[in-house]
Structure 1
């Protein structure tokens, strides 16, 4: 085994994240890249390296004519022993594997002065929630990093959104063996209440420690609401919030509010001595009283005093910073100005690309050692107190560097970097870039509107009058179910845009009119989309056309036409090699069409193909959607044992990820299968679970549980009339659903008993 290479691999946070996620199952590189928000090519390269070193194992799976590489964890423990003259590394497949992914997230604390009382107070506190607050630069972050070095660290910014925040917490909790929050988000779950409860459950079950820094910067009300929710309920975990102002989290004896002030005399003197200063006592006291023990002010003073022994100005920060700045060489000034341009911290590779000289590492660490810039994990930044002064001294063209950074971000090839790049395009007011980026989103970053709609919406709102921004806002509204809002935006701009953007709007208008049951207008836009497809050779647009055409024919009950269109979708998707979930969804749709045509064996075949694709790519939601469709198919084929078998998998999953609509759909067919098998106790439990779902969500199908319960009672000789009456009453506004329920029940129960009593 290559020991140096192995140690290098284990020092990488991304590699550790990959290993931790693989603990929960087998994954394809594409889905791992989505979860980690990393470039798929980079993830594939890392997996191959981990496989060579024996950490993971890959196997080829043949899916619909393609070879798919799927990886799983091979070892669950690595032991490293240091012996005289050698290092022994042993791996075991039998013991549990646990790894911290936190070190690179936490601010670097190489030099820490004093704060003994503060450290002891925080360490000894039994409160589950700690709020550290105080003025800018007073050392809140450094203190928290010193005390809570084993916590997950989240750095808040003005642009953070609820969806991105909870995705990161979900990923962290997944590393602690709590996967439900991440599974819920991956399956498209968006309910605020569910996310709050899953996060609380995850923190409590894992006893997780979470630090959220710079909470005062947060402008997303849902994040603040979530933090308040957690703060009042956490008991076993630990939540640490850092802010400039005391947060208002509600009354709780479980919260410690800790007001951090300046360094004491002795600690301040130690800091200056570490800077190489040896002041007279009287001079030191005068300086201390002027700076009030403020660590950042003392650090700047130390740097400035080396050249100017008479610095005692009252205007502390601007004077001190200008003194320090004058002492920097031209390379240091250039790098400092570049870093000051950006709102967020920059990773070293970004700084190197923007700076453009070979001595970037030396210059960066010179600024770091002087205390002018700070390092937080693997990123570097200028403190907010100094950023404004640096910008006043700036001599570089910000537009040039923003454009270069935008290009750098896009090369990183992740949704997060796409969103950051979009933000800088907006900052520049570059309409061509905005247009190009919206096309890139449509072609390459399709999941942005699904995974991070709030983050994207926040950026788009800054240019809400831009026609391309309106198009994208419409897509987000549509995803959220606000069809009228989406329709209004798309109608405003349909004649103002061209190319793929116009095709996107026309396709979306056809879709939204179908959702609103206006099929005449939907058909009009479908014909327009057809003419666009004939005039532009673009597989993406052609796919949209057939997606909408299949849906239209299905709604119009033209099943033969829907069938042909769906196969055209499948052909295009496989040719384009798009996201595998698209293929799985189309396979499920083909299965549905066959089932509607009462060609059950053919429908079953395509449901099984969808399951095959979903399993190969570890698409959990679609895997269980396939189970749900298989339950229905096997029930209709009267293979009730098989229906129950798949039902157990699907029901457990949908309830676990709080998708109660799908849970009720699945429970209904499993309950019917149990009735057919004469397993009435199991059928009764399923009927009661459906009723509980209806009571908490008001999902109409859940009320059918009363009708199924009535059937069970009747078969047990207990009389089910009262339950039949309740079920019919609950479904009185859904007569079509009531009729459908009776039709399916009639396949395993004499429904004339119900209709006779109604």
Structure 2
């Protein structure tokens, strides 16, 4: 084993995150990239490197005539021993391997002065929630980083959205072997109540420590509601909130509110001495009274100090910064101006790209030493207190630097960087750039509207009059079930767009019309989409056409036509850049069509192919949808034993990720299958679980549990009348569902026994 290479690999945070995720199962690079929100090429490169040093192993699998590489964790522990004769490295699969993944997310506290009393108070507090508040620059972040150095650190900004925030928390909790939150998000779960409960459960189960900095910048009400929810309920974990204002969270008995003030006289004097100043006592006292021990003010004063100079107090920080700024070199001034342009902290590679000169490292290091630029983990920023003055002296062209940053972000090929790039595109107001970005979203970042709808919507709302923004807003409304809103927006813009954008709108209009049961109008848009697809070599457009055509034929019960269209859909998918989730979904659709045609064996064949792809790429949600469909197929074949086997995996998963609609669907089929197998105890458990879910969600099919329970009681020789009547009452507004339940139950039980008693 190459020891230096292994040490280098283990010192990288992203590599450690990959290893942590692989602990939960085998993954394909594409799905790992989605979870980590990183470029797939970068993830593949890292996996190969991890494989070379023996930490993971990759295996080739043959899936649908394609070779794909699947990676899994090879070792459970790495032990490095320093012996007199050299270094010994041992690995084992039997013991756990733990290493902090959080160091680079946290501020690195190098120069820290005093605060012994504050450190003691915070570190000894038994309260599970701590709120540290105080004016800007007073040292809240540095203090929290000093005390809670083993915590997960999240830096809040004005543009943070709830969906992105919970995804990051899910990724963090997954490193502690709590995967439920991340799995819920991957499966498409977005219910606020479920997310709140899963986050709380994850923090409590893992005893995690979470620090959220700059909470005062948060403008997303759902994040603030989540923090209030957690503040009331956390007991075993630790939540630390840093803000300029005293947050009102309620439950004071659960919270330590800590108001941070300036440094003490002694600590302030130590700081100035460390900066090279040796003031006499009277001068120091005057400066201390002016600064109130404010660390940033003292640091700036040390850089601006001139003997016998009169300090202007009307605008103290601007005075200090202007004095320091005048002493900077031209290169330092340029870098300050560049960094001050951006609301977000910047990583070093971004600063290097924006600054554009070879001496970027030396200049940045100099500004750090002077206290003008601050570092937080791997990112750099100009303090808010100094941005106002920096804006006044700025002489650079904003547009040029926004364009540079936008291009830099897009090269990183992740959803997060795409969203950030789009935000800067809205600042530029350039319709051509916005058009190109929305096309990029259609082709490369399809899941943005599902994974990060809030974040994307907040950006689009800024340019809601733009036709491309309207089109994208329509997609978010459609995903959320607001079909009329989506229809209105798409109708407004359909004649303003061309190329792939017009095809997208026409395809979407066909889709929404079918959802609204307007098949005549849907057919009109399908004909237009057919014309566009025939005159285009764009596989994306052809794929959209066959997807909508298949759906149209299926909904209008033209099964033979739907099947032909579905096979064309599959044919196009397999010519496109690999997208296993879509291929798996298309195979499920083929299976559904065969079910409608009563060709159950054919359906099973395609459901199994969908399952094969889902397993190969670790598409957990699609895999369990495949289990559910296989259960239904075998149920229809009368093979209740196999139906129960497949349903077991699906039920457990859907309950775990709180997808109660699919959980109840699966439980209903399994309950009837158990009755058919005369396994009445298991059937009774399923019926009771259906009722329990219905009581908390009011999902109609759940009330069928009472009807199933009535049948089970009758088969056990007891009276089932009471349960049957309860079920009938609960389903009185769903007569079609009531009839369907009786029809299915009638396959394994003489329903006249209970209907006659009603």
Q: Find the aligned partners of 2:752 and 2:676 in 1 and give their Cα distance.
A: 17
Task: Identify which range, 526-535 or 624-633, moves more after superposition.
Answer: 526-535
The farther-off stretch of 530-539 and 123-132 is 530-539
Aligned to 2:123: 123
1:308 Cα offset (Å): 5.4
- Paired residue for 2:438? 438
Match of 1:185?
A: 185
Which structure 2 residues correspond to residues 399-410 of structure 1 after superposition, within 5 A? 399-410=399-410
The 10-residue stretch of structure 1 (725-734 or 489-498) with the greater mean CA deviation from structure 2: 725-734
- Which residue in the other structure is 1:255 paired with? 255
Q: Measure, in 2, the Cα distance between the counterparts of 1:299 and 1:252.
A: 35
Kept after mapping to 2: 8 A contact 1:591/1:603: yes
2:751 — aligned with what? 751
User: Aligned residue for 1:312?
Assistant: 311
Match of 1:656 in 2: 656
Q: What's the counterpart of residue 50 of structure 2?
A: 50
Pair 1:17 & 2:17 matched: yes
Residue 175 of structure 1 corresponds to 175
Say which SS state the counterpart of residue 723 (structure 1) adopts: helix
Q: Give the deviation of 1:520 after TM superposition.
A: 1.2
Query: What are the Cα deviations for residues 586-607 of structure 1, in whole angstroms up to 9, with x where unaligned?
Result: 1111111111111111100111
Q: TM-score, normalised by structure 2?
A: 0.99
- What is the rounded CA distance, in whole Å, between the counterparts of 1:232 and 1:76 in structure 2? 37
> Where does residue 540 of structure 2 map in the other structure?
540
In the alignment, the residues of structure 2 paired with residue 318 and residue 95 of structure 1 have an alpha-carbon distance, to the nearest angstrom, of 57
Work out whether 1:219 is the aligned partner of 2:211: no
1:457-476 aligned at under 5 Å gives the runs 457-476=457-476
Q: Is the 8 A contact 1:20 1:99 kept in 2?
A: no
Return the alpha-carbon distance in structure 2 between the equivalents of residues 319 and 643 of structure 1.
76
Partner of 1:490: 490
TM-score by length of 1: 0.99
Partner of 2:334: 334
Number of corresponding residues: 757
CA distance in 2, matches of 1:676, 1:665: 17
Per mean C-alpha deviation after superposition, the further-off stretch among 665-674 and 745-754 is 745-754
- 1:579 maps to 579
Within 2, Cα distance between the matches of 1:735 and 1:518? 24
Structure 2 residue runs of 5 or longer lacking an equivalent are none
Task: Give deviations 1:510-537, integer Å, cap 9, x for gaps.
Answer: 1111111111111111111111112222
Instruction: Please report how far the alpha carbon of residue 87 of structure 1 lies from its aligned counterpart in structure 2 after TM superposition.
Output: 2.4
Structure 2 equivalent of residue 644 of structure 1:
644
Name the SS of the counterpart of 1:62 in structure 2. strand
Structure 1 residues 23 and 311: CA distance shift in structure 2, 3 A: farther
Task: Give the corresponding residue for 1:110.
Answer: 110
Partner of 2:600: 600
Distance apart, 1:311 and its partner CA: 5.1
Any idea what SS the aligned residue of 2:88 has?
A: strand
The separation in 1 between residues aligned to 2:80 and 2:335, in whole angstroms, is 40
Moved over 6 A (4+): none
Task: State yes or no: 1:206 paired with 2:206.
Answer: yes
Deviation readout 1:350-405 (Å, 9 max, x if unpaired) = 11111111111111111111111011111111100011111111111111000010
Please give the alpha-carbon distance, in whole angstroms, between the structure 2 residues aligned to 1:684 and 1:511. Answer: 40
Worse-matched range after superposition: 240-249 or 314-323: 314-323
What is the deviation of 1:756?
3.3
Aligned to 2:301: 301
Deviation string, structure 1 residues 288-337 (Cα, Å, up to 9, x no partner): 111110000000001111x5562532132101101111111111111111
Q: Is residue 397 from structure 1 mapped to residue 393 from structure 2 by the alignment?
A: no
1:27 aligns with 2:37: no
Per-residue deviation at 1:102?
Answer: 0.6
- Secondary structure of the structure 1 residue equivalent to 2:104: helix
Cα distance in 2 for residues equivalent to 1:677 and 1:511:
41
1:8 corresponds to which residue?
8
Query: Is residue 104–residue 378 contact of structure 2 (8 Å, CA) maintained in 1?
Result: yes
Matched position secondary structure for 1:211: strand
Q: Aligned partners of 2:417, 2:50: CA distance in 1, in Å?
A: 25
Whole-angstrom CA distance in 2 between matches of 1:242 and 1:249: 13
In 1: Cα distance, 2:579 partner to 2:209 partner:
35
Corresponding residue number in structure 1 for 2:67: 67
Question: How many angstroms apart in 2 are the aligned matches of 1:479 and 1:541?
Answer: 20
Per-residue CA shift, 1:621-663, capped at 9, x if unaligned? 1111111111111112222222111111111110010000010
Q: Deviations over 1:190-227 (max 9, x none)?
A: 00000000000000000000000000000000000000
The Cα of 1:748 is off from its aligned counterpart by: 1.2
Separation in 2, partners of 1:755, 1:69: 56
Q: Judge conservation of contact 2:62–2:68 (CA < 8 Å) in 1.
A: yes
| Alignment partner, residue 271 of structure 1 | 271
For 1:478 and 1:63, the matched residues in 2 are separated by 32
Q: Quick one: distance in 2 between partners of 1:603 and 1:441?
A: 33
| Partners of 1:579 and 1:309 in 2: CA distance | 70
How far is 1:453 from its partner? 0.2
**Aligned equivalents of 1:256, 1:558: Cα separation in 2:** 65
Q: Counterpart in 1 of 2:715?
A: 715
After superposition, the C-alpha distances for 1:706-728 in whole angstroms (9 at most, x for unaligned) are 11111111111112122222222
Contact 2:321 2:389 in 1 (8 A): yes
Residues 634 and 640 in structure 1, CA contact (< 8 A), matched pair in contact too:
yes
- Contact 2:707-2:723 at 8 Å conserved across structures: yes
Provide the residue aligned with 2:163 in structure 1: 163
Do 1:287 and 1:312's aligned partners in 2 also have CA atoms closer than 8 Å?
A: no
Q: Distance in 2 between matches of 1:391 and 1:43?
A: 39
SS in structure 2 opposite 1:190?
coil
Matched, 1:683 2:683: yes
Q: In structure 1, what is the equivalent of residue 511 of structure 2?
A: 511
Match of 1:550 in 2: 550
Three-state SS of the structure 2 residue aligned to 1:557 is coil
Query: What CA distance in whole angstroms lies between the structure 1 residues aligned with 2:717 and 2:307?
Result: 98
Q: Which residue of 1 aligns with 2:671?
A: 671
Maintained 8 Å contact 1:170/1:179: yes
**Partner of residue 412, structure 2:** 412
Deviation, 1:89, is 1.9
Q: Equivalent residue for 2:697? A: 697
Report the more deviating stretch, 718-727 or 32-41.
Answer: 718-727
Cα distance in 1, alignment partners of residues 386 and 579 from structure 2:
45
Counterparts of 1:568 and 1:546, CA distance in 2: 7
Whole-angstrom CA distance in 1 between matches of 2:146 and 2:224: 25
SS in 2 for 1:246: coil
For residues 331 and 674 of structure 1, the distance between their equivalents in structure 2, rounded to whole angstroms, comes to 76
528-537 or 607-616: which moved more?
Answer: 528-537
Contact 2:231 2:251 in 1 (8 A): no
Alpha-carbon distance in structure 2 between the residues aligned to 1:316 and 1:78: 54
Residue of structure 1 in register with 2:236 after alignment? 236
Partner SS for 1:59: strand
Which string of whole-angstrom CA distances, capped at 9 and with x for unpartnered residues, describes residues 113-156 of structure 1? 00000000001100000000000000000000000000000000
Look up the match of 1:562: 562
Q: Is the 8 A contact 1:641 1:673 kept in 2?
A: yes
Distance in 2, Cα, partners of 1:333 & 1:103: 30
Partner of 2:290: 290
- Secondary structure in 2 aligned to 1:380? strand
Task: In structure 1, list runs of 5 or more residues that go unmatched.
Answer: none
Q: How does 1:89-104 map to 2 (within 5 A)?
A: 89-104=89-104
* Rounded Cα–Cα distance in structure 1 between residues aligned with 2:577 and 2:284: 69
8 Å contact kept, 2:570–2:586: yes
